[in-house]
């Protein structure tokens, strides 16, 4: 399974949510992230949902670009060894080495349900799912 990693802000959000709402919410959140990592590895994690357009406006610069454009942008920031691994990933898997995706999940918090959204980067080169940002995470 792909490894789950976090950008600093997303990690702080998860830690705050887990400390505020306890093991039940935290366990549900981690189970969801593990399912996302499995889908990322299988290359079955779909893109943005149509009802998510308002949030996309906030993150338009990151999301609207296609997978290849995002991969090329990421490529420019990487060292030569990572670029070589990315080429191998592209040739072997016939998929962009890096992909940006959105996912959402209904999380039960006490007596109500909350729809939580996540923006994540799939890094096929390093076999990881990098959580960039949560929206509507309990405790946010």
Beta strand pairing status for 128-135 and 3-6? parallel
Q: Measure the CA–CA gap between 63 and 47, rounded to whole angstroms.
A: 9
pLDDT band at 6 (very low <50, low <70, confident <90, very high): very high
Residue 119 token pair: 């923006």
* β partners of residue 100: 121
The per-residue pLDDT for 51 is 41
The per-residue pLDDT for 91 is 73
pLDDT band at 67 (very low <50, low <70, confident <90, very high): low
Q: What is the pTM of this model?
A: 0.72
The per-residue pLDDT for 66 is 64
The 10s digit of each residue's pLDDT in 68-110 is 667 667 777 888 788 777 777 777 776 778 788 888 888 877 7
Q: Measure the CA–CA gap between 129 and 103, rounded to whole angstroms.
A: 12
Most confident of 20-34, 36-50, 71-85, 98-112: 20-34
118 closest CA partner among 108, 98, 104, 139: 104
Q: Measure the CA–CA gap between 114 and 80, rounded to whole angstroms.
A: 43
The per-residue pLDDT for 57 is 53
């Amino acid at each position: 399974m792909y490894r789950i990693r976090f950008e600093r802000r997303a990690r702080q959000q998860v830690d705050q949510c887990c400390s505020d709402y306890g093991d039940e919410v935290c366990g549900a959140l981690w189970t969801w992230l593990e399912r996302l990592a499995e889908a990322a590895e299988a290359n079955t994690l779909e893109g943005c949902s149509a009802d998510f357009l308002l949030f996309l406006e906030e993150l338009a610069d990151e999301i609207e670009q296609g997978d290849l454009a995002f991969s090329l942008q990421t490529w420019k920031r990487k060292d030569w060894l990572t670029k070589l691994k990315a080429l191998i990933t592209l040739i072997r898997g016939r998929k962009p080495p890096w992909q940006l995706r959105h996912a959402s999940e209904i999380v039960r918090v006490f007596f109500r349900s909350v729809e939580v959204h996540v923006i994540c980067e799939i890094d096929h080169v390093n076999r990881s799912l990098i959580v960039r940002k949560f929206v509507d995470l309990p405790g946010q």
